[in-house]
Amino acid sequence: MTGTLLESETEATVKARDLLEVDRLAVHIDTYRGTVKAVDGVSFRIGEKESVGIVGESGSGKSMTALSLLRFTPPGARFAEGRILFEGHDLVRLSQEQMRSVRGNRISMVFQDPMTFLNPLMKVGDQIAEGLVKQGVGRRQAREKVIEALRQVRMASPEDVADQYPHQLSGGMRQRALIAMAIIRSPALLVADEPTTALDVTVQAQIINLLREIKEEHGLSLLLITHDLGIVAHVCDRIYVMYAGRIMEEADVFSLFRDGKHPYTRGLIASVAYEDQPGGAVSFIEGSVPSPINPPAGCRFQTRCPHVMPVCREKQPPRTRISDTQAVYCWLYEEEGRDG
Amino acid sequence: MKSTSVATLAYVIRRLFQAIPLILGVIAINFTLIHLAPGDPATLLAGEFASPEAVERLREEFGLNDPFYKQFLTYLGKVATGDLGYSYRFRAPVLDIVLDRIPNTLLLLFVSFVLSMIVAVVLAVLSARRPNSLFDNVASSLAMVGYALPMFWLGMMLILVFSSQLGWLPTGGMYSLRGERTGLAMVLDMARHLVLPATAFAAYFMAMAYRLTRSKLIETLREDYIRTAHMKGLSEREVLFRHALRNSLVPVIAVMGLDLGVMVGGAVVVETVFTWPGVGRLMYDSILARDYPLLLGIFVVVSFGVIIINLLADLVAALVDPRIIYD
């Protein structure tokens, strides 16, 4: 899979080959009140061994984007448009059977709440082994691999944990078990959907560091979905900022924090930066997210944008390239917009 | 692990001791009720043409002239030593008569229970896979009917159709009069007699277990760990049976265990309709015959049985669900 050519060159000089390419993906959910455009024309890519973050507030469609990679969309949701190219296949078009051979095997996922994502009636080791056993690995060998995986996620006394039930483990230990479950079949891509949101702050840092180390040790690509800018800054190479079902800006982590272009990106960073200032007012973005059923024409951020212009209300902003590693969807950076 | 099994054993023993006041209560209430009921057992026992002296002698013999509290205490004393009294009608010790009938009732209960659980779980799985599908709607409607049908009516209809009209199955009893009494032939003969009463009995429990399992299964299929199971690339069938069904059955076991009291009531009806020689039929007969010692004895044995089966249901639930620990 991995080209030796790539390894001989530094990461900075070579654009990593794409493992995943999502192209104008749209996921719509039909409801009685109308069609919810949860994900509406989202494009992004993840290179081999790259860690990419998708940041956004609740309702931005970031989780739905992550779930659609494994075709875990809720009932009523449909892929209205776009492609998800992964290892030469369009995942949108795979059969259920083919999709099952991707899940856990090539793409794995770590979920938000370790308390509820483990089966309470099954021993932790058996749950981790399940995917392997399905692949035809013998019981004894599977057991060895489970212990090995538990060791890789830095679980203390992995032999004991394998024979325990989820309720006997702490939240952090359960999340480690879920990570072990996700990596045991050496997938190419690990999707982590808000992996620390439900954990204690002290445990959060451990899990984040663990994800980073696992990614390096296993040479896998990581897609991290979070609302926490601190976490993406710590883990990710590149970041996509999502808002109301659309990508607003994409950039490498340094450019984004030093020189974020989109007014929404700036608002997000400002709201974190001023948080800790003694006596200082908390900065926030005024207004609220527009209705996903009847979103306004043009830019989705127009209702809250301090720099809103007439053109923003008419036409959707195109992708404007700022540099090799940065692009923004905003009229402020487009010639046409500046004139209007 | 070791300490868990010791704790469980201690729990079982404690539960059995807790059963004592419960059984005392059952005896007290039923003893009082029977005492208040009209009719004189001695007259019944002595027969229509007995002399008043003979009746009086029987009263004296069975202690029926003693004051209420004395009769009650005497009875309690006997029960404590395992003596449930003497049946006027059968002229035999109550315990012997009841123990003689219990296997027949247990057979009926067991067959109905297994039958209803198997059918209910299969239908519930098929329904829960596609809630509100045509299959689900039909099965759910049938379950409503099964739930609502009176057991005696269903029993009589079954007899009418399958015995009287079609002549496929016997109308009642447990054995054919001229049938074999040994080996496979006996078993088959008994099975033929069992089909209709077991069906009449199972209908209600099937409906209840189906509705319970279906709704619990639909709920479980929305749990987060089902998503995890899919993440591992498991097939729908594997997810359903390995992750969803087992987790759904824990509450079903608990409720079915609690509902055994209802099952006893059902046994009275079904055994009477099908003249099945079990404890239910015995209870019915002893009421008609005003055989109070027998009736009371049945109450004691049955309530003890219900307590034991409830305890078993709790233990089975703990076996399936590791989070349930008794200490």
pLDDT the model gives residue A300: 87
Contact of A24 with chain B, judged by CB distance below 8 Å, is answered with: no
Q: Same domain for B138 and B185?
A: yes
Contact of A111 with chain B, judged by CB distance below 8 Å, is answered with: yes
Digit-coded pLDDT (tens) for B110-125: 888 888 889 999 999 9
Digit-coded pLDDT (tens) for B215-272: 999 988 888 899 888 888 888 888 888 888 888 888 888 888 777 777 878 888 888 8
Judge contact between A158 and A147, C-beta under 8 A. yes
Q: Same domain for B68 and B163?
A: no
How does strand A18-31 pair with strand A77-86?
A: antiparallel
Rounded to whole angstroms, how far apart are CA atoms A168 and B129?
31
- Residues in chain B closer than 8 A to A186 (CB atoms): none
Digit-coded pLDDT (tens) for A246-264: 999 999 999 998 888 899 9
The whole-number average pLDDT for the span A81-99 is: 89
Q: Same domain for B171 and B76?
A: no
Q: B229 Cβ partners below 8 Å, 6+ apart?
A: A119, A130, B238, B239, B242, B243
User: Topology of domain A4-106+189-282, per CATH?
Assistant: Rossmann fold (3.40.50)
Is B325 a domain residue? no
Rounded to whole angstroms, how far apart are CA atoms B284 and B274?
13
pLDDT of A50 strictly over 70: yes
Residue A40 DSSP SS3: strand
pLDDT of A69 strictly over 60: yes
The whole-number average pLDDT for the span A57-76 is: 87
pLDDT the model gives residue A337: 45
Digit-coded pLDDT (tens) for A4-38: 433 434 433 344 468 999 999 999 988 888 888 88
Digit-coded pLDDT (tens) for A102-120: 998 899 999 888 888 998 8
Structural domain boundaries in chain A = 4-106+189-282, 117-186
| Domain residue limits at B268 | 95-320
Token pair 């009650």: residue: B72
- State the pLDDT confidence band at A236, using cuts at 50, 70 and 90: very high
A15 vs A217, more confident: A217
Percentage of chain A beyond pLDDT 90 is 25
Please report the ipTM that was assigned to this predicted complex.
0.82
pLDDT the model gives residue A196: 85
Question: How many CB pairs (< 8 A) connect A and B?
Answer: 71
Nearest to B140, CA basis, from B67, B232, B213, B70: B213
The whole-number average pLDDT for the span B289-301 is: 84
What's the gap in Å between the CA of A169 and the closest CA on chain B?
12
pLDDT the model gives residue B3: 63
Nearest to B132, CA basis, from A80, A75, A71: A75
Nearest to B252, CA basis, from B299, B317, B189, B187: B317
Q: Same domain for B216 and B126?
A: yes
**CB neighbours of residue A321 within 10 Å:** 10
Contact of A178 with chain B, judged by CB distance below 8 Å, is answered with: yes
Cross-strand pairs, A46:
A20
Q: Do A118 and B228 touch (CB under 8 A)?
A: yes
pLDDT the model gives residue A1: 41
- State the pLDDT confidence band at A52, using cuts at 50, 70 and 90: very high
Q: Same domain for B55 and B169?
A: no
Q: Same domain for B89 and B120?
A: no
State which of B40, B74, B94 marks the end of a domain: B94
- State the pLDDT confidence band at A237, using cuts at 50, 70 and 90: very high
Q: Same domain for B260 and B142?
A: yes
Digit-coded pLDDT (tens) for B124-167: 998 888 888 888 889 888 888 888 888 888 888 887 888 777 87
Is B260 a domain residue? yes
State which of B58, B77, B94 marks the end of a domain: B94
The whole-number average pLDDT for the span A194-212 is: 87
Rounded to whole angstroms, how far apart are CA atoms A193 and B93?
71
The torsion region of residue B3 among left (phi > 0), alpha (psi -120 to 50) and beta comes to alpha
Digit-coded pLDDT (tens) for A328-338: 999 888 764 44
Q: Same domain for B153 and B20?
A: no
Domain count, chain B: 2
The whole-number average pLDDT for the span A125-143 is: 87
pLDDT of B52 strictly over 90: no
pLDDT of A339 strictly over 60: no
Identity of the residue in A103, A127, A178 whose CB atom sits nearest the CB atom of B233: A103
Is B327 a domain residue? no
- Residues in chain B closer than 8 A to A108 (CB atoms): 231
Q: Same domain for B122 and B64?
A: no
Contact of A182 with chain B, judged by CB distance below 8 Å, is answered with: yes
Digit-coded pLDDT (tens) for B57-114: 877 777 777 788 888 888 888 888 888 887 877 888 888 888 888 888 888 888 888 8
What CATH number should be reported for the domain holding residue B311? 1.10.3720.10
Q: Same domain for B170 and B207?
A: yes
Identity of the residue in B225, B227, B322 whose CB atom sits nearest the CB atom of A72: B227
- State the pLDDT confidence band at A340, using cuts at 50, 70 and 90: very low
Q: Same domain for B56 and B77?
A: yes
Q: Same domain for B27 and B126?
A: no
Average predicted confidence (pLDDT) for chain B:
82
State which of B94, B129, B163 marks the end of a domain: B94
Identity of the residue in B225, B242, B323 whose CB atom sits nearest the CB atom of A116: B225
